[in-house]
Amino acid sequence: MASMIVISTTAVPDHVRGALSRWLIEPAPGLYVGTVSARVRDELWSAVSGCIADGAAVYLHPADNEQGFVVRTAGERRRHVADFDGLQLIRFLPQP
């Protein structure tokens, strides 16, 4: 069954942006939204996270959990997803 996903990117290579725009719309720079199957969703995230280079990406999709969604990240970011008793919360790393 198809479900809505959101991918936010920062400083990713052009070919990654091109791959995302084939399946999703880009309502704001670096923000991709669309409704795709689980297989396409997983393949898109695999392509993005494997080619992130010096950029970063955040990916959200619906899930059968308390929050109703899952958050994944790729690349070097100050914000990291932390699991607290089954809830995904954002943890800030100290600045270098």
Backbone φ and ψ for 52, nearest 5 degrees, come out as -70, -25
Question: What pLDDT tens digit does each residue of the chain (96 aa) get?
Answer: 789 999 999 999 999 999 999 999 999 999 999 999 999 999 999 999 999 889 999 999 999 999 999 999 999 888 889 999 989 999 998 877
pTM, two decimals, is 0.89
CA atoms within 13 A on the CB side of 42: 3
What's CA 7's distance to the chain center, in Å? 4
Cα distance between residue 95 and residue 64, in whole Å: 34
